[in-house]
Structures are given as structure tokens and as C-alpha cells.
Structure 1
Amino acid sequence: YGVMLAYTPLHYMLFKSNGPRFNALVMTSGNMADEPIAADNAEAFEKLSGIADFFLLHDRNIYMRVDDAIARVGSGKTRLLRRSRGYTPNTIMIGEETKDILACGAELKSAFCLTKNSHAIMSQHIGDLENLHAMEFFKETLKNLKNTFRAEPKIIAHDMHPDYLSTRFAFEYANAESIPRQMVVPVQHHHAHIASVMAEHGLNKSVIGIAFDGTGAGLDGTLWGGEFFITDRRHFERKAHFECVALPGGKAAIKEPWRMALSYLKTTFNDGAASEAKRITGSVGEKKTTAILKMIDARLNTPLTSSAGRLFDAVSSLIGLCDTLTFEAEAAIELENTARRAKHKDEKPYAYSLSVQPDAPMRIDFRPLIRKIMLDLKSGVDKESIALRFHVTLADVILDISTRLRTESRINDVALSGGVFQNSLLSGLAQAKLSSAGFNVWLNEQVPANDGGVALGQAIVAWESVKKYFC
């Protein structure tokens, strides 16, 4: 991720010891993937003996597990990618007195939010809520912060996805505390993203909200992730979105970007998809390629998604950067890094088309982009140029739709959020284009743009939804 200075006496002892001399140390958290940090010596021995060669033990117990925070500094701004040690439990002023609220967050990069008076209290980074250990850490942290701030939540906010452990916990907590049903508030995932930006910057009027991420439950039964809203702190209207494509295999497509590449090829070339997928077939095998194309044809285990993150995955695979993830967002990171190596920084955007119909959201169709990328590959255009043109295209889409929505609504504030905007190349291009066009542009700073900041937005939307009962 980056670098950090020694910040404990033990770190200094490692560098100053009479034994081996180190100029630098590579350090990572003491935990298995997707599990919380091991909190005592016995747990470390039990879980990490198959990984670690040596153990350096300590006679001080860990009272509360806290990961290191991660921040990116640029253009005079510090933007958190992970809000944890050093930033929690510092509060965020939300500009209005509220009742005590618990917002349970999402599933990945979990963090919850409590409110007390006019303060929002974000938990430290919990991790992905996908197993019992992570859920127990969530509960342990909640108990600690409730006691610290004397918070007794009477309003509960949660994601709309019914299968998230955070959603299930919200209902369990409400039942255990006898919290009335009208005080348990579902919040649409991407609305929460935009509301988190509004809360940070004290934005009380409507904004153009642009949320780009992996996936989140939509109101129409599809998985959203490339969204343009007109929104305030309580309501939102979906005004435009990426055209939906198949997510073949559901969650499996998130870990295997070649599936999304096939999905976009099928959408673009239909029966010609197999001939366009020769590189992918050579990488993963004809049997898998044929099976996925048939799965898409039959609409078998292929939910529809408008995800911007999955479009990044598709393009990364199409140009031969990443077919299978070894860590989260690897394909998108490779695509960004490749774009940064382009020789010519003034690449022009690819084409895309826009479907505009009365009383329906605009749909952004990337089939022209996919066709031209495939032609560029056959013509020998280098990957770096293709990757940069792709980023420039998305920045142009952001400006195009924002300009159309400003004409319609007279709103000049644009809020950008969602994990895709951790891509500093895309966010920088979009911010520059929007600012040059006279927009006021707002991004997350104190909480992550990824799902680690969703709980702040949930808390704000929930309060706007129920405060009528208290006024």
C-alpha cells in the first residue's frame, strides 16, 4: 500500500538491535485473509503457525484490535482509503443534532457508524463481514464504542441487500433492543455513498451524485454500480446508469474478470463473441469459454449489473492484463497502472452511445467502446494507450451526463463516491473536466470512498427519514 514510519518502541528496537540490521521492514497485519487481527499469543500460534516462520511475542495484551489506517495524499488533500488507527474514534461533525443512530455498513471493508448529538463516530476498519470471526469483532467493537460514547441507538440503518451479515445483524439488534420497525431504515447502497460525501462537506441541498463501484443492490432487482443520481440527504432519483450486462456466475465473475470480458463480448458481438475471445480461450481453455457463453445465452446464474467496477475488470481482461484476481481490485489496479505508462497523455476518448427515453433513466452503452478496443488490439495498438483512452472515456461520460443533468435541474454540485473513485487517475481526470466546466466537485476525504464509508451515509439518510417522528 505505501510506507509508514516506526511508531512504537518495539519498532525502534527492531531497527536498533544488536542483531541483524534492517534498513526497512515489510510489515502486514497478523491475520488470515478475511479474518480480524489475532488478538493474543495463543490465537496467533493457532492461526498463523502455518504462515509465519518466527513469532515476536509481547507481554501486553491487546485491548482493541485496530488496523493501520491508509491514506493517499495529493493535490493538497488527504483522502482515506482505510479509516482506522490514528483516525478512529475521532468524530465527524454532521451539522445537526440527531438521536442515537447505529448504521451497520455494508459487507466488504466493513465499518459501522454511531451518532451522538451532532457527532458521527465511525468504527475502525473491521474487514469483510463474511465469517463468524469478523462478525464477532464487529460486535466487540460496537460494545466498546457504545460504552465509550454512552450511545444507546434507537434508530438502525442498514444496506438493502438482505443477505449481508450487517443487514441480518441490524434486524437482530433491533429485535433484541425492542426498537420499533419504523426506526429500522433500509438505505440504498449508492445513495449511502453519495450521502457520505454530503455529510462530510455539509451539503444540505440536492447534488448530482455519481456512484461507481463493484455492485450494490438496486431497486429494480439488478445489481447497480455505474449510477448517476439527483439526490438529497433523504431521497434520490436514478437519472442515468451504465447499460446492464450479465454477471456470469454471480460472485465468481468478481474474482475472474475474464467472465466479464466474455459478457461484454457477448453483448457487443452476439454470435461472434467466441471468435473475438481467442486470447481468453487460450488463457482459460475452450471448455470454460464455451460454458460461460452458453450460461449467458441461457440466462443461467447471470444476474444483470450496471457496475463500473465490472467494466474495468472486463477491459483489463480484454487487453490481457488480468484474467484471475489474486487480490481484490487487481484487474482495475493493473488497468490504472498501465494507463499511467502511456507515452501520449492526450489520448482521445472512445465512442459510446446514449439511450434517452421519456420518464426513464438514460442508459450508457459501451458497445462502441468494446468494438474499438478489439479493433485496436488487432491493429497492434499498445495496451498503455488503450488503457488511458478507456479512462479518458469514462471521464467524458461523467462530464456529459453531469452537464445534461445540470441543464435539467440547475444543480451545480457534483458528488463522486464509490470504490472506483479510489482510482486517482479517473478521479483526477473527472475532477479536472468537471471543474473546467464550472461544477463544484466533492469527494470523500474523512471516510473512504469505498464501502468503508457507506455507514456514514446510511446514518445521514436514516435520520432524514425518521426525524419527523421527533420534531
Structure 2
Amino acid sequence: MVAEEIRVRGIVQGVGFRPTVYRLAKICGLGGDVCNDGGGVLIRVSGSEEAITEFVTKLQTECPPLAKINQLIRIPYTGELNAENFVISSSVNTAIKTEIAPDAATCQECQKEIFDPFSRFYRYPFTNCTHCGPRLSIIRAIPYDRCNTSMSAFVMCSECAKEYHDVENRRFHAQPVACHTCGASAWLERADGKAVTASMFSMLDDVDAVCTLLQRGEIVAIKGLGGFHLACDATQEAVVEKLRYRKRRYHKPFALMARDIEVIERYCTVNAKEKELLKIPAAPIVLLEKKGLERDAGTRERGDTGKIFSQNFEIAISVAPGQNRLGFMLPYTPLHHLILRRMNRPIVLTSGNISDEPQCVDNDEAREKLGTIADYFLFHNRDIINRVDDSVVRVVGDKVQTIRRARGYAPAAISLPPGFENVPPILAMGSELKNTFCLLQGKEAILSQHLGDLENGAAFDGYQKALNLYLNLFEHKPEVIAIDKHPEYLSSKIGKEIADKNQIKISSIQHHHAHIAACMAENNIPLDSPPVLGIALDGLGYGEDGNLWGGEILLADYRKFQRLATFQPVAMIGGEQAIYQPWRNTYAQLMTANLWNECEEKYADLEIIKFLKNKPIKLLNQLIEKKINSPPASSVGRLFDAVAAAIGIYRDECSYEGQAAIAMEALINVHNLNNDKEILIYPFEFSFLDSIYCIDPRPMWQGLLDDLQQQIPQAVIAAKFHKSLADVIVEMVKRLCQKNVIHQVVLTGGVFQNCVLLELVSQALEMLGIKVLTHSLIPANDGGLSLGQAVITAAQLIG
């Protein structure tokens, strides 16, 4: 007989791990105990060497569905153990070294129970077990025990307590376990304050009434898992437009939820990988390609009157204007399953906020802020401790690309590559837009959920609250704080404040270097690997020379980088206004290319030239010449905007960054692009700027204007531009490979969320025998920046 102590780290609390340990120990005939503590799970076993080895093997192969073992350490145990029996011991409070599980979608067993009239969980909207339910959204501290969650407000009834303490039950130590008798409850309110009565609806309960309201064309604010959503029938154009007007979200696409994949497949093509993504416990929004206008005729749906009727239900155009994709998710809580049970068409389910603000999470806050948007509220009384947005993903080629990392993914740790073992604790503050922060310690990085754009006051307050919560949850005491080099980023300013207050060292990291390092880290590139060629294309970032960068090719490792090439800097006329008024970029591009005089003569009849001539040209020229709020930027994001405006896409105004570029991409028929040999490319020039290569779009503009004059269709010009840009990037890589030893190329930055560009560049480089690294676990946009800041800082500390 021997005894061992087995330490297990990873996602091992609140996911049914201890019952699995108990069951396997019994099968293997072992004595001892298991408990949760701050380090994860601690197991002490007594038995034969063969039995313990069998137990450890089974533990790794029969993990619960939501568990993840990152580390398993076995050492001899010399203390006393009960060799005759195996027990589950109480949690122990020790130093925090474990992970918090992300929130997880309702499992199949719980789904069956909420629709089973003979189950005590029948129609209970907060049913859960160790395989599903709230985690991050309700936690205040770890260990993940009920007393450390918002469920502490609810005392378990005898039936729930029996299941909670039954090691053979799947609800053993499921901290949010509750039922109709003892748990949270949901109720319906009218936004105008008038009473809601059962006689108003044909309904089973208040949750079921929401379905009737949506079918009738009402807008309902629904308190969900990580915040409020605003919901309406996605097939009623007038209702969707009303929601846009009230919410002040005029163009950004709305997310959709459908009861099942069969409903989704009426509107989108869904491949096997996308089906898998829709069904995983993270239950993200998946961006799917729209089908044509043809629909299955005679869709049958039971209306609120109980009468069966036939009707075609088209998605309202206002759901995703200018898009060729729709963002769909499946119900991920019992509440959503119950609402959609008799809804045979999709609903809009968008963030419960005024545009650009964070989601509401508190009932009173929702009444105040959403009362002028929603007609009704579906409230519940389980507090949301942590705001968690829906995650957004899509499939590019055969690879998953994360657009927004939040519910279902955060705060699961990201393992760091070889060489980053035992680094000191680091806090990375992230960017200004699409912010996340990152806690790095040991061999893991914990990336926060998406926190939004910090220029919004409410988002900034939420950022600070989330940061304090994470630091406390993980007992993280940073020795270094990493920030972006941009002096005006609010994330950088608060990082400096924390550093000054606690006398902590600050590390300022260049924006595009951080993008590249983040991609290297998620692709598990070891610390001491040779430099990669990083192509970082985005809106803008603060450069080493004090200028705004946005189209950069860097030779980089984790510690340092060398700028090898850039795009021609062009004035952002009016500064931030250039992001939301694409025509400004078109004019700046034409002026930089010295083409304006030619435009007035040769291309005077073009719509874009007529449009620009009605602008205050003299004033614009003065702003450019004197650099008055018109900084030069090598931004590829603004180049996309300029081209989109030139061909007539969102020329005058955009309501969000990249809107024109996204709409331009949506025009392209990818099949034709890859197969039509007649789509020739526009040329770019190579020049030198401060001794580095510079990609100059001047000849591209001449070709594009010629095409406009010849009335070439928008879609063809859009395809030619994408193909031309990809071609010039690949040609630049070829030139740089002749002068540098390059084996791997990183594609990163928000511009590479463009599927067409990403695939064109990736495929061309791979045909040259170059390994291409892209993003999957974290966003290519600024949502992944904090990971890059953290690993660069760690690498520089290691030396």
C-alpha cells in the first residue's frame, strides 16, 4: 500500500470534478479524500501503485464536460489517511491558484427537465447542474462555493439540499442549484408602470408571456445571464426599425437567437463546424452566411390566439443592413429555452443598453435606462455580479476566428508558450477600444471578458469595477503594469495611476508589437524562437516615432521589433471625424497621391468628385497643410474607408468604425473572386520612407477612378481592391524574405477580421511555403491586445 497527494489545477471547481474523483476512487478501490482549495483540487489517496496509476489515467480521460486539467502533480504522502473509505471534504481557503469556469449553456439533461411536466424543475427558468449554468456572472470570490456567489441570498429547500449533498447526483455541489420552491424567480412588468394580468395573454406563466409579446410586435427587455438584452421579432421590419430608433443604434448589426438549428438553417447556410460552435457550452454568436431570398414556403407557427396559420417569415432588412452574414446564437439559459419554445422564427437579442454604453445588469438601472426603449421587462431577482457580453465567433476556412471573447470563454486561462514558466505577476491594461485586460502569472494568462470602448463613461466605470474584481478574485498583486504607448488612452492613464500609487514598475508597449506578440502567444510560439514577420493592419496605434501607425510590417520576437515596411501615411482630416466620415479619407488619399487636379479635369463627372467638390476644399487643404487636427496615419483601416466612399458605400457618414469597409467586403462574391481570371489587380508602388519600404496606393487610385469612369460595378471594384491589396502584401513579404531569414508570418490587427483579405493573403503565402499564423482563441482586433502587452513585458523581464 502506498499513499499519494495529487494536486490538480485548471478549471476544476464548480464543474462536478470532485464527484468524478469520488466515483473513480471508489471504482479503483482507493481510500482517502478530496477537497477544493485556492490551488484547485487536492486529492489524497491510499492504495496499490497500480490502482493509483489507473485512477490518475481515468481522471484525465473521464473529465467532466466543463472541466479542464492544466496541471496534475503527484507526490508521496506521509500523513495519515483513511485507507478503507474515500470521502469529499469541505473546501479550504488557501492562496488562489485555481481558475474560474466560464458561464456554460444549459445541458441536455436540464433542458429535458424544464420541459418535463413530471419534473420538479418543469418550466423553472434557472435550472442548472454542475454541467451547466452561471459561473463568472455570479461569483464574488473563490473558492467557488455558494456563499461566494449571488446565490447566497437563496436558502436551499430540502429537495435541492438533498441533491446538492448527494455525491451520485449531477447537482452535487452545483452552487447555483435551486428550484421553484427556493430559488430565484422571474416576473413581467410593463414599462409604463401599469399592471400585468394573466387575462392579457394566452400564457403558462410570465416567461411564456414574453413569447406572445414578441409575436405581437412588442419590445421586451430581458434580464439574462450576464446582463439585460432587448428582444423583438426579427421578422417584423417596423419593430426592428423602432428598436433601432429607440436604442440609437442605427446601423450596427443586431444579434439573433433562434429556438434551434432548424430555424437558423431557413436563413443561413450552416456547415458542420458552425453547427458544432452553435452547440458548444460557450454558446457564442456565430456569424453565418445568409441564404438567398428563397425560403421554405408555408412555415407553420402557432400564434398567440392558438390558431395555426401559414406564413413566410423573412428576416427584417434592418437586422443587419449592408451585411452578407447574420449573427445567430441558440438559447443558452432555461429562460431563453422557455421563451422560444413556441417561437418558430428568430428574435433579435441585442445588448440591453443605449448604443455604445455597457449592458444594464441591475433591475433599477434597467428601469431607468431602458424604460424608453422597451415596452415590457422580464426581470428576475438573481443578482448579476459580473457583466458578461455574448461572445462572437465565425469560421474562416476551417479555423474558428474569435471576434469578441466574453461569455462562455472568459475567464478561462490561456496557457503560455514554453519559456514563460514562473514569470512574476503582470497586469496588462489593454487598449482604448474593445478593451480587455490581462492578468499574467506563472505559465498562464487570464484575459478578461470584452469590456467595451473606454471613451464611454459607463464602460470606463465598468472596466474599473471588473479590474478590481479580478485582482481580488485571483489575489493578483502585479509587480509590473503593461500599458499601450498612446499617452491619451484611459487604460494607460489608470495603469500609471495604479503603478504610482503602489510604486510598481510601468512597461510601455508599442501597439502593433503587442498585436503580433498576442498572435504568437496563442499559437504557442516559444519565447526564444527566431523573429517572425508580423503584418499588423488596423485603424491606428501610437508609433515609436510619435506618429499614428496602422499598416505595419515588423520583424519581431517577444522582446523587440524592427519596422521593415509601412503604408503611405495619409492625413486623418478632422482626427476622429475621419473614422465616421469616410469621404474625408478619400479626399486625403487623392491629395496625398497628387491626383486632385487630375480628378477635377479628367474625372469631374464622377459622383465622388462631384461630392467632394461640394465640401470646403480650401479649408480641408489648410487642415492638411498645417496639420491642424489632421495627423498623418499609415492606417489601412482608413484606406478601406477611402475606397468604400469612392465607390459609393457609406460615403457621407458611418455610425461605427469600419462600417463602410464591412459593407464593401459584403459585396464580394468570393466564388467569382477566386475563379474569375478577368478580375485584374490594381497596381501599388513601392518606395522608401525613412529608410524603410513604403507601400504607396497612388497607382491603385488611378486604376480605380478609371473603373468608376467606365461604370464598372461596385462589387467588381471591391473585389479588385481586395485582391490588389492582398497581392501587394504578398509581394512585400517576398521582398523582405530576400533580405531576412523568415519562416513564419503573423497576420493580425482588426483589418484581418476581413475574411476575404485574410484568406487571400494566407493562401498566397502558404503556396510560397511560408507558415502563416492567425488568431483563433483571441480577437485579431484590440480585444487581444492586453495578452500581447503581457507576454512582451514578461519576455523583457526574463531577459
Same fold (TM over 0.5): yes
Alignment correspondent of 1:336: 665
Aligned to 2:440, the other structure's residue is in SS state strand
Residue pairs, 1:209-220, within 5 angstroms: 209-220=534-545
| Pair 1:459-2:790 in alignment | yes
Is the 1:113–1:459 contact (alpha carbons within 8 Å) kept by the matching residues of 2? yes
Alignment correspondent of 2:410: 88
Q: 1:174 aligns with which of 494, 499, 502?
A: 499
User: What runs of 5+ residues in structure 2 fail to find an aligned partner?
Assistant: 1-325
Cα distance in structure 1, aligned partners of 2:443 and 2:475: 14
Cα-to-partner distance string for 1:342-370 (whole Å, 9 max, x where unaligned)? 8564322211110147x711011100001
Aligned AA for 1:334? A
Cα distance in structure 2, aligned partners of 1:90 and 1:343: 40
Q: 1:319 aligns with which of 640, 647, 650?
A: 647
Q: 1:395 aligns with which of 701, 715, 726?
A: 726
Is the 2:554–2:564 contact (alpha carbons within 8 Å) kept by the matching residues of 1? yes
Q: 1:67 aligns with which of 372, 389, 404?
A: 389
Cα distance in structure 2, aligned partners of 1:328 and 1:56: 32
Q: 1:292 aligns with which of 620, 635, 644?
A: 620
Aligned AA for 1:153? P
Aligned AA for 2:375? D
Aligned to 1:115, the other structure's residue is in SS state strand
Is the 1:188–1:217 contact (alpha carbons within 8 Å) kept by the matching residues of 2? yes
Alignment correspondent of 2:738: 407
Aligned to 2:379, the other structure's residue is in SS state coil
Is the 2:427–2:481 contact (alpha carbons within 8 Å) kept by the matching residues of 1? yes
Is the 1:157–1:187 contact (alpha carbons within 8 Å) kept by the matching residues of 2? yes
Cα-to-partner distance string for 1:174-226 (whole Å, 9 max, x where unaligned)? 112221xxx21000000000000111112232100000000111122221011
Normalization by structure 1: what TM-score? Answer: 0.94
Q: 2:523 aligns with which of 198, 201, 222?
A: 201
- Identical columns (%): 41
The CA deviation at 1:304 is 0.3
| Pair 1:260-2:599 in alignment | no
Aligned AA for 1:271? N
Is the 2:573–2:631 contact (alpha carbons within 8 Å) kept by the matching residues of 1? yes
The CA deviation at 1:263 is 0.6
Is the 1:104–1:113 contact (alpha carbons within 8 Å) kept by the matching residues of 2? yes
Cα distance in structure 2, aligned partners of 1:340 and 1:160: 39
Aligned to 1:116, the other structure's residue is in SS state strand
Residue pairs, 1:27-426, within 5 angstroms: 27-95=349-417, 96-97=420-421, 98-179=423-504, 183-203=505-525, 204-268=529-593, 269-274=595-600, 276=603, 279-280=607-608, 282-283=610-611, 286-323=614-651, 324-340=653-669, 343=672, 345-346=676-677, 347-356=679-688, 360-426=691-757
Q: 1:431 aligns with which of 756, 762, 770?
A: 762
Is the 1:196–1:457 contact (alpha carbons within 8 Å) kept by the matching residues of 2? yes
Is the 1:92–1:120 contact (alpha carbons within 8 Å) kept by the matching residues of 2? yes
* Segment drifting more, 198-207 vs 434-443: 198-207
Cα distance in structure 2, aligned partners of 1:59 and 1:122: 29
Aligned to 1:229, the other structure's residue is in SS state strand
Cα distance in structure 2, aligned partners of 1:206 and 1:336: 32
User: What runs of 5+ residues in structure 1 fail to find an aligned partner?
Assistant: none
Cα-to-partner distance string for 1:418-470 (whole Å, 9 max, x where unaligned)? 000000000000000000011000011111000000000000111122234xx
Is the 1:266–1:273 contact (alpha carbons within 8 Å) kept by the matching residues of 2? no
Cα-to-partner distance string for 1:394-433 (whole Å, 9 max, x where unaligned)? 1112211111121111111000100000000000000000
Cα distance in structure 2, aligned partners of 1:326 and 1:340: 25
Aligned AA for 2:391? A
The CA deviation at 1:46 is 1.2
Cα-to-partner distance string for 1:218-267 (whole Å, 9 max, x where unaligned)? 12222101110101101111100001111100100011000001111112
Cα-to-partner distance string for 1:329-354 (whole Å, 9 max, x where unaligned)? 11110111122378564322211110
Cα-to-partner distance string for 1:126-147 (whole Å, 9 max, x where unaligned)? 0001133212211211122223
Cα-to-partner distance string for 1:77-128 (whole Å, 9 max, x where unaligned)? 1111001011100111113221111100000000011112100000000000
Quickly say closer, same or farther: Cα 1:110–1:238, change in 2 above 3 A. Answer: same
Greater relative CO (CA pairs within 8 A, separation 6+): 1
Aligned AA for 2:540? T
Quickly say closer, same or farther: Cα 1:343–1:207, change in 2 above 3 A. Answer: closer
The CA deviation at 1:300 is 2.6
Q: 1:442 aligns with which of 769, 773, 785?
A: 773
Cα distance in structure 2, aligned partners of 1:159 and 1:58: 40
Cα distance in structure 1, aligned partners of 2:719 and 2:560: 35
Aligned to 2:347, the other structure's residue is in SS state coil
Aligned to 2:565, the other structure's residue is in SS state strand
Cα distance in structure 2, aligned partners of 1:366 and 1:417: 21
Look at both structures and tell me which one has the larger radius of gyration over its CA atoms.
Answer: 2
Quickly say closer, same or farther: Cα 1:293–1:53, change in 2 above 3 A. Answer: farther
Aligned to 1:241, the other structure's residue is in SS state strand
Cα distance in structure 2, aligned partners of 1:208 and 1:451: 19
Cα distance in structure 2, aligned partners of 1:243 and 1:7: 46
Is the 2:599–2:609 contact (alpha carbons within 8 Å) kept by the matching residues of 1? no
Aligned to 2:508, the other structure's residue is in SS state strand
Aligned AA for 2:631? P
* Segment drifting more, 228-237 vs 29-38: 29-38
Alignment correspondent of 1:11: 336
Normalization by structure 2: what TM-score? Answer: 0.56
